[in-house]
Chain A
């Protein structure tokens, strides 16, 4: 069973479109995250939710809106896509929201290409 899954795996779309990426975890974790990995391969946190509550929002444009319908799901909706949004987006989850010993489990990534 896949612990953290994302759909779709690949997403090719035109500038200006709106798209969503879905994430599900079956680990029973309380906290979920979205990370973005750009073309230079740097991974950066975007958002984090704990028990459906937003706890991290790292100066991401408001065209990006995370939605957590329940603890097991964290979806990412992107409005008015721009060329610079092309990247790989990773979802992750962890048991708790504190740092220290907590381990994060990552999904396989969604490769978004905006033309």
Chain B
């Protein structure tokens, strides 16, 4: 599985935007970039995914570099409820089995 690198932790103020980076320099052409997050004492939840173009949904935006070797998850206005561990995961659409390979993720702390 292609690897991703994320900062161990980040801090943000409430109501401000948060940019969570992810490096994936060995990404292959068949890898989608997925983001999941895990709120305290809960199971992981899907946030967003993309292949080449930037993506927006009600939770966040995903900005993908032109060479696809990095991406950034953008939370437009962080709330206390966004404090969680954020995981950047590559998913190969050719892969049989569909497992998620989680790294250490980024712990996001949101200050009020």
Contact = CB atoms under 8 A, between A and B. Distances in A.
Given A41-B85, A90-B43, A108-B42, A101 B97 contact: no
A55 B95 CA distance: 12
Interface stretch (B17-25, B63-71, B100-108): B100-108
Interface string A85-109: 0000010101011111111111111
A97 B43 contact: no
A40 to B, nearest CB: 9
A27 interface: no
Nearest to B43: A106
Nearest to A4: B43
Contact of B45 (A42, A48, A97, A106): A106
A33 to B, nearest CB: 7
Interface in A34-67: 35, 41-45, 48, 55-56, 58
A25 interface: no
A48 B43 contact: no
A31 interface: yes
Contacts of A104: 44, 46, 98, 100
Given A97-B96, A97-B98, 4 more contacts: A42-B104, A94-B98, A98-B98, A99-B32
Top 4 closest pairs, chain A to chain B, by CB = A100-B93, A106-B43, A99-B95, A43-B102
